[in-house]
Structure 1
Amino acid sequence: MSDLDRYLQAATRDNTRRSYRAAIEHFEIKWGGFLPATADSVARYLVAHAGVLSINTLKLRLSALAQWHNSQGFVDPTKAPVVRQALKGIRALHPAQEKQAEPLQLRDLERVVDWLEHEMQTARAEQDQASLLKASRDRALILLGFWRGFRSDELCRLQIEHVQAHAGSGITLYLPRSKGDRENLGQTYQAPALLRLCPVQAYIQWISDAALVRGPVFRGIDRWGNLSEEGLHANSVIPLLRQALERAGVAAEHYTSHSLRRGFATWAHQSGWDIKSLMNYVGWKDMKSAMRYVEAAPFHGMARITDKPLSP
């Protein structure tokens, strides 16, 4: 790989590269399209998958095709009127409500953290190092993910060298790159220590239990309690979260890694945070992104002007 290719690759997030590569393979191999593509073939590709793939997935496929043509020096066929009209028609004839992750409510956060702490106590008493490490790791990951509103890939890319935690005070975390950091300038995040459900105390305890001094914060743990040298993969966060919730007696099938982020945004909104403060804390750049995550009560405020409270 040349130096130019290396820098060009670094400019695109790993998840985006994988998604684009899969989209190009789907167009070429599974559907039988040819590259460079014509506007007509792209429009026919959209029509062939209308009602099967979601609008967001079709838009991702268009973005991948656009990126491929631009990078190879060809005219981008996805910008042609016929493609845009085809997508508009598909959206009109196949409307679908956007699926969103269920926000993790504070009461369920309390339940799962209480259960993990119970697991930690039991594991210490039984000298079960593997179970102790898994419960300690999961508690720290869930609390940090919730109170910082982190995405799963951000949690998995945290490095111990970039974290400063002070018991009873707060925690500072630096990420060299993230989805919202388009210029790759790096971003520093902070979270305070809390009297309960504290992410700072959970982080310090995990690092101590695992005897970690450098490298990825959150890692895989085998059945014997051996820690991986590599960080967790972002795709592993969903099963980790669901398994912890299920062990705590919480129905978890509708939760994803975004449930932590949405859960915090919902809690903050209901606790009186204004949207600007929430956007600054989480790192959203536009109002539309923030409102997608906020789970507001549908009749909030209306009870004040009615004879009796409204219920959904």
Structure 2
Amino acid sequence: MDRAEKNIIPVLGTDPSTSVDLVDGLAASDSKTIAHLLKTGIGANTLRATRSDLSYIEAWVLACDGTSLPWPPGPELVLRFIAHHLWDADQRVIDPDHGMPDHVRATLVKGGYLRAEGPHAPATVERRIASWRALCRWRGVEHPFSRDDVKRTLRSAVRASTRSRHRKSQRNVDLQLMEDLLDSLDARCSPAPLKIKEHEADRLRSIRDRALLSVMFASGGRRRSEISNLMFGQLIDLDPLPTDNPEWPDGLPSMGIRIGRSKTTDARDDNAVFMTGRSVEALRYWISAADITSGPVFLRIDRWGKMFDYSISAHSVNQVLKSRLAEIGCEAADFSAHGVRAGYITSALKAGIPAPEIMEQTLHRSLDTLMGYFKDEEQRQGKAARLL
């Protein structure tokens, strides 16, 4: 960590775009520039999660000891945090003192910091500890998170946890479901016999949503933030690919997308993913219909069909998916944008595509992480489940 990084202290609880204090003497304009670079380089979602995590940890310390969070935290405090959040529900029945004390829990519930019954999800505890560790590094203070006893305790507590893993999307948006979704949108994208204003507004949104969803899936199950932030300058026009398919007499249309900074990649990596066929055709049709030559690709469109010059939000990407699934009779509550990523990976693996090739599209660096997305909803009907 260099000197500049050590003097950047996030001020959590304020807007993430201005959540930095810098060394005295730095001009206000320079502070805003650094704040923008932090927000862009770290990511607004990461800053938001870090702010939330620290708020919870501060509330927990206050509930336990009646004092503010110490910097740096001692190893005993971190171990107590693990004990209070990754306890064993069965042991709690035998030993009432096991896990988080009742008075601490009551204080956190009253303050609105704690809602779930029982021990925390291991992923939540690991994320909060990672945020805690990162904040120690940003403040330039020593921390106990690298100590063997802390790492060993956390690892053992996570392994011993009996809490089932919660999936961000209860159901996958697999290849078949995505094709059904796009078929439905194809019908909505057809020009109306008469220029009916309401139909034209719906048609424009359908053209955008068809392109958005097909690109989201075909490019490797891109995250909703990557879709909402997609810029025209990231698109790479490529020559058609040869094919014997009579539907594409001129070859399969092909495009690339330069992936800048993402959750797992750095802009300097110069990663690119590729799409062919239906998704490329849908994207080019939208770009032509919206006359996009620069800036964001997927623009916001209001209910009356007015198109704005800024992109839809990541939250809206999720809502587009849910609303379009509801239109074809699916239960929207069972799905989220995360299900597109899981559906792409599951469909690709079931199609026999090698994992390294899939990882080139998803940009995963770990095979274990990739396999964590695999969810075959027909598992109980398969031969493996009926062997005996």
Same fold (TM over 0.5): yes
SS of the counterpart of 2:269? Answer: coil
Deviation at 1:232, TM superposition (A): 2.1
Deviations 1:14-69 (A, max 9, x none): 32222112211222246535141322233333444444431111111101110111
SS of the counterpart of 2:332? Answer: coil
Calculate the TM-score normalised by the size of structure 1.
Answer: 0.85
- Given candidates 207, 211, 214, the residue that maps to 2:294 is 214
Kept after mapping to 2: 8 A contact 1:147/1:191: yes
Letter in 2 for 1:155: I
Judged with a 3 Å threshold, the aligned counterparts in structure 2 of structure 1 residues 28 and 245 are, in CA distance, closer, same or farther, namely same
Once structures 1 and 2 are overlaid, which stretch shifts more, 77-86 or 15-24?
77-86
Calculate the TM-score normalised by the size of structure 2.
Answer: 0.69
Letter in 1 for 2:69: F
Deviation at 1:9, TM superposition (A): 5.1
SS of the counterpart of 1:146? Answer: helix
Aligned equivalent of 2:22: none
Judged with a 3 Å threshold, the aligned counterparts in structure 2 of structure 1 residues 184 and 55 are, in CA distance, closer, same or farther, namely farther
1:159 aligns with 2:195: no
Kept after mapping to 2: 8 A contact 1:237/1:257: yes
Letter in 1 for 2:271: Q
Distance in 2 between residues matched to 1:277 and 1:299, nearest whole Å: 27
Distance in 1 between residues matched to 2:38 and 2:317, nearest whole Å: 28
Once structures 1 and 2 are overlaid, which stretch shifts more, 282-291 or 180-189?
180-189
Distance in 2 between residues matched to 1:152 and 1:122, nearest whole Å: 29
Once structures 1 and 2 are overlaid, which stretch shifts more, 32-41 or 64-73?
32-41
SS of the counterpart of 1:190? Answer: strand
Once structures 1 and 2 are overlaid, which stretch shifts more, 123-132 or 274-283?
123-132
Alignment of 1:45-56 (within 5 A): 45-50=81-86, 51-56=118-123
Deviations 1:162-202 (A, max 9, x none): 21346842111112222221464332221112xxxx10111
Letter in 1 for 2:76: D
Kept after mapping to 1: 8 A contact 2:172/2:375: yes
Kept after mapping to 1: 8 A contact 2:230/2:297: yes
Aligned equivalent of 1:295: 375
SS of the counterpart of 2:333? Answer: coil
Kept after mapping to 2: 8 A contact 1:165/1:204: no
Aligned equivalent of 1:121: 190
Aligned equivalent of 2:311: 231
Gap runs ≥5 in structure 1: 304-308
Identity %: 23
- Given candidates 97, 113, 130, the residue that maps to 2:201 is 130
Once structures 1 and 2 are overlaid, which stretch shifts more, 97-106 or 147-156?
97-106
Q: How many residues align?
A: 303
Aligned equivalent of 1:43: 79
Alignment of 1:1-312 (within 5 A): 1-2=30-31, 7=37, 10-29=40-59, 32=62, 33-36=68-71, 37-50=73-86, 51-81=118-148, 83-84=150-151, 86-88=153-155, 90-91=157-158, 94-100=161-167, 101=169, 102-121=171-190, 125=194, 126-127=196-197, 128-149=199-220, 150-165=222-237, 168-182=252-266, 184-193=268-277, 198-296=278-376, 298=379, 310=386
Once structures 1 and 2 are overlaid, which stretch shifts more, 18-27 or 44-53?
44-53
SS of the counterpart of 1:191? Answer: strand
Distance in 1 between residues matched to 2:323 and 2:143, nearest whole Å: 44
Deviation at 1:160, TM superposition (A): 1.2
Distance in 2 between residues matched to 1:266 and 1:66, nearest whole Å: 34
Judged with a 3 Å threshold, the aligned counterparts in structure 2 of structure 1 residues 47 and 274 are, in CA distance, closer, same or farther, namely same
Kept after mapping to 1: 8 A contact 2:254/2:275: yes
Kept after mapping to 2: 8 A contact 1:265/1:278: yes
Judged with a 3 Å threshold, the aligned counterparts in structure 2 of structure 1 residues 236 and 31 are, in CA distance, closer, same or farther, namely farther
Kept after mapping to 1: 8 A contact 2:256/2:273: yes
Structure 1 residue runs of 4 or more that deviate by more than 6 Å after TM superposition: none
Kept after mapping to 1: 8 A contact 2:174/2:347: yes
SS of the counterpart of 1:253? Answer: helix
Supply the RMSD in Å over aligned alpha carbons: 2.9
Letter in 2 for 1:96: R
Distance in 2 between residues matched to 1:311 and 1:132, nearest whole Å: 49
Judged with a 3 Å threshold, the aligned counterparts in structure 2 of structure 1 residues 280 and 175 are, in CA distance, closer, same or farther, namely closer
Kindly name which structure, 1 or 2, has the bigger radius of gyration based on alpha carbons. Answer: 2
Q: For CA contacts below 8 A with separation 6 or more, give which structure has more relative contact order.
A: 1
